Amino acid sequence: MPPLATFRPPSLDDPRIRSLMERTSVGVDPLLEAVYPDRWGAEVEVETADGYRFRELRPDASGDPELPLDGAALDAKVMDLMEGAGVDPQEGRGLLNHLRRLEEDDSLPELPRFG
């Protein structure tokens, strides 16, 4: 999964990304919309400059119960979301470590305060 920073300036100011955005269209697929919000699927179709078309359907989003993330990917996503919310990475890692230990020890130590 790309980090959230991929969808913010300065990444979006990259001329190559701007060019791609100008050639991109987004629409609603009635079949995918019919099963939302039970499933969060998406379909992408790419047409190359020489006319070839490639299509990929993902009926479930990464991280959904049908397509769970492994521990490392989940940790990376949590850390990325906390960083995007302005949480210091070291404090975020500490909080994540506390949460991971809840499976072994249900006593919750004092949590760090953010913000």
Question: Is the same domain home to 15 and 52?
Answer: yes
- Total domains, the chain: 2
The one-digit pLDDT tens for each residue of the chain (115 residues) are: 788 888 888 889 999 999 999 999 999 999 999 999 999 999 999 999 999 999 999 999 988 999 999 999 999 999 999 998 889 999 899 889 888 888 787 666 666 666 6
Question: Is the same domain home to 11 and 39?
Answer: yes
Q: Is residue 32 assigned to a domain?
A: yes
Question: Is the same domain home to 8 and 31?
Answer: yes
Q: What is the pLDDT of residue 36?
A: 94
Q: Which domain holds residue 97?
A: 71-101
Q: What is the pLDDT of residue 115?
A: 61
Number of Cβ within a 10 Å radius of residue 48: 8
Provide the whole-model pTM: 0.69
Q: Where are the alpha helices (DSSP H) in 10-88?
A: 15-22, 30-35, 71-84
Question: Is the same domain home to 53 and 94?
Answer: no
Question: Is the same domain home to 11 and 54?
Answer: yes
Q: Is residue 106 assigned to a domain?
A: no
Q: b/e map of 12-33 (b: 16 or more CB within 10 Å)?
A: eeeeeeeeeeeeeeeeeeeebe
